[in-house]
Structures are given as structure tokens and as C-alpha cells.
Amino acid sequence: MKSILLQQWQTKAACRGPQSLVFFPPSQFERKEERIERERRAKAICDLCAVQSDCLSHAIQVREQHGIWGGLNEKERQSVAV
């Protein structure tokens, strides 16, 4: 079994734990209003996170295509990375 190695900043992330579900879309259909609310909750967690900038830098560097990373969703990260 391959183990996942976390980067140092990831161990300090505020999103670790059960609240991590709000950072990614569910496997079933999600209405626009539900997505907006889920992303709002995720971004509120990011706002309190000590490693938010490390997280965002990582997501931009690896071109993460899904979820809220460093307080930004996929489209928001694309506009920053350009």
C-alpha cells in the first residue's frame, strides 16, 4: 500500500478533519445555491488558517483542478495563475 506523504504545511491546515468535506463537491448533483454555501463555509475555514498562503501556492503550482485550496475555488485560482 502506498502511503500519502503530507507536506509540512498540510499537517497544520485548518481543513483537516471532518470539515474537509466542504472543500470538494459531493459525488451527487449539487445545486448552484448549495455549491455557493459549501464554498462559503470552506472559505471561512481558510480565512482562519495559518497556512492559507502555502496551500494556495501548492494548488497553483500543481494546477489543482478541484476544490477550495487557499481560499479560492477552481475558477478563482485560474485567474490568479494567469
pTM (2 d.p.): 0.85
Burial call 30-49: b when 16+ CB within 10 Å, e when fewer: eeeeeeeebbeebbebbeeb
Alpha carbon distance, N-terminus to C-terminus of the chain: 37
Digit-coded pLDDT (tens) for 19-76: 899 999 999 999 999 999 999 999 999 999 999 999 999 999 999 999 999 999 999 9
